[in-house]
Amino acid sequence: MTAATQQENQTVPENELANGNGIYGKEGVIVPVVNPPVDIGVALCPCDSDAVPEILKSISSFGDDPSLDNDNTRLGLLAKARDLVRALETPRETMIKHCWAQPGCYTAITSCYNLGVFSVLASYGGRPKKVTEIARILRTNPEVLTRLMKHIAAMGYIKETDPDEYAPTNFSRSLTIPIIGDGYPCLAGGAHKSCSKFPEYMAKTNYATPTDVQAGPYQYAFNTKMNMFEYMQSNQPLGKQFNHHMGGYRQGRPSWVDFNFYPVEERLIKGMDASPDAALLVDVGGSLGHDLQEFRNKYENAPGRLVLQDLPIVIDAIQQLHPSIERMNHDFHTEQPVKDARAYYMHSVLHDWPDDVCKSILKRLAAAMKPGYSKLLINENIIPDKGADWQATALDMMMITLFSSKERTKSDWYRLLESPELGLKVVGIWSVGNGVESLIECELK
């Protein structure tokens, strides 16, 4: 290796290399060597014992009987509780939790969900049930079921009431609701292999940013040319389960149609075209119609058509939707058939695609918009530069491993939406707090 190549690949300061604190790693890149080595004792002490007194003080500030109906109070207390657990755990315990406990728990929950265990647990008023009773009802192997349920209980997700006897929790009861429970087999069968294979994929690509939607981490892991949506829809019931999972993801989260979020009356309804066939809101890639249903419920007297667009396999899966909401088969990679709508709306669509594909999608919408009248509403996460919420960063990890895409920062969104070739401009961003999806409003320039 030449001196010039060594300097180019350097990842530690020159003075560190001079002291011998560098080795050649993969592709000749210099990586630091910890000198002196970290003692194993570090892994056996609390991760951050110094922080514990301050965390306890913060928790006590919530009082003896905090109002958990107040979401800000609940989330604040929950954040401090997580801080306390992380501070008290030893690094060794955290490692075992990540490598064994959490993957094992996901495996056990998914297996029990597929069997119908949680429905049996919740039946007959949720009275405690022996594993042998559950196994008899489900006609399954009690020996394996005993081991699965013991770990789920050890993780705190069902209650152990006696040896090999369990009762449900609110969590396990919720798993009987398809939009909550279906996420487990859906992601186990159609997503998580991509996550586990991601480090291997990145090593093979020399850690280049994934942007290829046809040959990315997902295609590598599943040995397919399909994207995740195509794969799941081609391998039912994964597609149906994924639609349910998206419904569960949206439950309990602040919505842009809430009266304290986006000024719907002022920004959309005011100035609406009075023609009988005028479209008020077109939900592009709107899945089963959850958002339009919520809009209809909260603005039942709003004028204009509400149009739900998605692929036929999704539209055909809709079981309940207000009859006034039009169902339309549409692929957003093709020309937008509804012209001059008051607003075109996309919820968690663009985060599934890298910038070049997003621009293609946005061009179709911009071409359908009426200057000075139509709006484009983007309902997505905006990752802050500091202090990002764990739910948003977790979703970003899913985006990079599943779609070769990403959750975007504010500057990312401006750079994408105001790309010269689109002819769009951002006129406002509405949000109600970190960890909550924002609404970005755009118009034609």
pLDDT digits (tens, 9 = 90+) for 286-329: 999 999 999 999 999 999 999 999 999 999 989 899 999 999 99
Res. 17: pLDDT tops 50: no
Res. 404: pLDDT tops 50: yes
pTM: 0.84
pLDDT (average), residues 237-244: 93
**252 pLDDT band (50/70/90 cuts)?**
confident
Res. 123: pLDDT tops 80: yes
Can you name the CATH fold of 255-444? Rossmann fold (3.40.50)
Res. 434: pLDDT tops 90: no
pLDDT given at position 140? 96
User: Is the distance from CB of 338 to CB of 382 less than 8 angstroms?
Assistant: no
- Gap between the terminal Cα atoms of the chain: 53
**70 pLDDT band (50/70/90 cuts)?**
confident
pLDDT given at position 168? 98
pLDDT (average), residues 97-123: 98
Tally the residues of the chain.
Answer: 445
Residue type, 418: E
Res. 1: pLDDT tops 70: no
pLDDT (average), residues 386-391: 90
- The DSSP 8-state label assigned to residue 32 in this structure reads E
Q: Mean pLDDT over all residues of the chain? A: 92
Res. 230: pLDDT tops 60: yes
Enter the CATH code of domain 92-176.
1.10.10.10
Res. 362: pLDDT tops 60: yes
Catalytic, out of 192, 244, 347, 351: 351
- Could you tell me how far CA 408 lies from the centroid of its own chain? 13
ω before 128 within 30° of 0 (cis)? no
More confident: 30 or 63: 63
Burial of 421 (0-12, 13-18, 19+ CB in 10 A): exposed
pLDDT (average), residues 250-265: 91
Q: Is 244 an annotated catalytic residue?
A: no
Structure tokens at 55: 């965390």
Res. 7: pLDDT tops 60: no
Q: What is the pLDDT of residues 363-385, one digit of tens each?
A: 999 999 999 999 999 999 999 98
pLDDT given at position 237? 96
Res. 117: pLDDT tops 50: yes
DSSP-assigned letters across all residues of 359-408: HHHHHHHHHHPPTTT-EEEEEE-EE-SSS--HHHHHHHHHHHHHTS---E
Query: Could you tell me the residue ranges of all domains in the chain?
Result: 3-30, 41-86, 92-176, 186-248, 255-444
Cα atoms in the 13 Å half-sphere on the side-chain side of 257? 17
Neighbours of 219 (CB within 10 A): 20
pLDDT given at position 24? 53
